[in-house]
Structure 1
Amino acid sequence: MIRVFIVDDHKMVIEGLELLLQNEAEIEVVGTALNGEDAIQRIPETQADVVLLDINMPGLNGIDTCKKLLKQHPELKVIAISMHKESSLIKLMLSNGAKGYVLKNAGQEDVVKAITKVYEGKSYLDADVNEIVMNSILQQPSKQNSNNFPTLSRREKEVLICILDEFTTQEIADKLNISFGTVETHRRNMLIKTGARNTAGLVRIALEYELHK
C-alpha cells in the first residue's frame, strides 16, 4: 500500500484528488493539509510515502515546503501538483528534490502513474510537462532566459512596475482596479517564479533580468 499525503490550499483540489484515488487498491490517502506549515507538522505522524504538493500556497510555498520536508525526511517522495507551466519553475521544483511534476489538469491515469513511479524510486513528468522541459532545453538562450527565468504575465508585469515605483499593495490594487488579495497573489506568483525570497529580492532580479519589459 502506497501511503499518500496531499498538500494544497484549496479544499476542492484536495477533495478532487481524494476522489480520484479512492478506488485505487494500492494507494491510500493518509492525510491532507491546506498549507506547508501544517504539512511539515503532520506528515511524519502519518508515515506517508508520497506527498502530492501544490506550489503556489500562502505562507510557506511548495518549493520551500519541499526543501524542508526532504531535509527532515529524505525518504519521502514528493510530486509537484501545479497549474504553473514555466520551465524554470518546473526545474526549480525538481532541483529542490521533487521526483515528479504533474499539471492539475492531468487525468487519473497520469496521477496514479506518477505516484507509482516515484514510489518505486523513479522520476515522473506528465507528457505536457516533459514537452515544456524539452522545449526549454532546445531553445537558444537569450539574456532574459539565460538563467531560465520565466516570462511574466501581462498583469504580473503591471504589478511589478508598480512595485518598482514603490507603490503599496493597496495603491497597486486601486491603480489596477483589482483586489488587495489579487495583488498579493500576483506578488506571490512572481516570488515563486523567480525564486526571490522577498520583495526586495524580486526588485533586484526584475531589474537585473529586465523582467518588467
Structure 2
Amino acid sequence: MSTHKYQILVVDDHPIVRQGVSRLISEEERFLVCGEASTWGEAVDLAANTRPDALVLDISLGKRMGLDLIREMTALVPELRILVLSMHDELVYAERSLRAGAHGYIMKSDAAQKILEALDHILSGGVYVSPRLTGLLLGRPLHSPDCRPRPGIQSLTNRELEVLSLIGQGLSSEAIAARLSLSLKTVEAHRSNIRNKLGLETGERLLEVAIRYTRELL
C-alpha cells in the first residue's frame, strides 16, 4: 500500500539555503520536494506545472519582496499552503505574511528544528508561528485592517518597506518609480513618509538606515 506524499515547492534565491531546506524536507518519507526555484518567475511556473501541496518561501527574492508573490500564488493555486522561511524579524514581517495569505512563518535560524513541524501543522489546516508571535496575535483578526500604532520599522507600510529596500540597494527615486511602476511624486511621498516615521532628518540618514536594513535582508 503506497503512502501519500505531500509535494513541497521550495523557493529561495540562496542556493545553499534552498538545497539545505530541500534536503531536510526530503529526509521525511511523507514529503516529496517537487521543485526548487530561485526567482519569482520560476516559482510561478513550477507552481502552475506541479500544483504542490505546500510552498516554502523566502519573502526576499533578489530585488523583489515576496509578499506579492504570496498573493499571486494563492490566486494561482487556491488550495496551496504557504510557509514563509525567512531571516527577517518576525515582528515586522510575520503578520504581514499571514495577512497576504501565508499559513506559517518561521525564522531561518529555527529551520532545522521547526520546519517539519511547521509543514505538518499547516498541511493539517493550522497556522504556524512562534509562541512569542502567537501571544501577540491572540484575539487579533488577521483579515481586518490593523490600525494600531507601531514603533520604528514596524510602522512602515509594505510599500514603504519595499521603497526602503530599493533605496538601500542604491536606486534613485526615478529608478524606484520605474521598478515599481509608480510616479516620481508617489516615490518622493513614500521617502518623506519613511523619514517622518523613522525620525530621520536628512536624506543621508535615510540612505544610511536603508543600506543597513537592506544588508539584513540579503
TM-score computed with the length of structure 2 as normaliser: 0.66
Question: In the comparison of the two structures, how many residue pairs are matched?
Answer: 173
Q: What's the CA shift for 1:120? A: 1.0
Q: Given residue 16 of structure 1, which amino acid in structure 2 is its aligned partner?
A: G
User: Which residue in 1 is equivalent to 2:47?
Assistant: 43
Alpha-carbon distance, 1:146 to partner: 9.5
CA distance in 2, matches of 1:86, 1:202: 23
- Identify if the C-alpha distance between structure 1 residues 70 and 109 changes in structure 2 by more than 3 Å, giving closer, same or farther: same
**Shift in alpha-carbon separation, 1:72–1:207, aligned structure 2, 3 A:** same
Q: Does 1:69 align with 2:110?
A: no
- In structure 1, the gaps of 5 or more residues are 151-155, 164-168, 170-182, 192-196
Residues 33, 199 of structure 1: alpha-carbon distance in 2 compared, 3 angstrom cutoff: farther
1:53 aligns with 57
Give the drift of 1:209: 2.0
Match of 1:212 in 2: 200
Question: In structure 1, what is the equivalent of residue 9 of structure 2?
Answer: 5
Q: Is the 8 A contact 1:37 1:65 kept in 2?
A: no
- SS of the residue aligned with 1:122? coil
Distance (Å, rounded) in 2 between the aligned partners of 1:111 and 1:186: 35
- Partner secondary structure for residue 117 of structure 1: helix
The equivalent of 1:145 in structure 2 is 151
**Structure 2: stretches of 5+ with no match in the other structure:** 141-146, 177-181, 202-218
CA distance in 2, matches of 1:147, 1:23: 38
Percent identical pairs in the alignment equals 21
Alignment match, 2:213: none
Q: Does 1:33 align with 2:18?
A: no
Which of 169, 174, 179 does residue 184 from structure 1 map onto?
169
**SS, match of residue 109 in structure 2:** coil
Output the CA distance in 1 between the equivalents of 2:13 and 2:152: 32
SS at structure 1 position matched to 2:33: strand
Do the aligned partners of residues 23 and 143 (structure 1) sit closer, same or farther apart at CA in structure 2, a change above 3 Å counting?
Answer: closer
For residues 32 and 147 of structure 1, do their structure 2 counterparts lie closer, same or farther at Cα, with a shift above 3 Å needed?
closer
Question: What letter is aligned with 1:202?
Answer: H
Which letter does structure 2 place at the counterpart of 1:149? S
Pair 1:90–1:107, CA change in 2 (3 A): closer
1:104 matched residue in structure 2: 108
Q: Specify the alignment match of 1:202 in structure 2.
A: 190
SS of 1:124's partner is coil
Instruction: Name the CA distance, whole Å, in 2 between partners of 1:104 and 1:186.
Output: 28
CA distance in 2 between counterparts of 1:73 and 1:35 reads: 18
TM-align CA RMSD: 3.6
Decide whether the 8 Å contact of 1:103 with 1:129 is kept in 2. Answer: no
Q: Tell me, yes or no, if the aligned pair for 1:143 and 1:209 is still in contact at 8 Å.
A: no
Q: TM-score, normalised by structure 1?
A: 0.68
SS at match of 2:60: coil
Alpha-carbon contact 1:35-1:58 (below 8 Å) kept = yes
Q: Is the 8 A contact 1:99 1:124 kept in 2?
A: yes
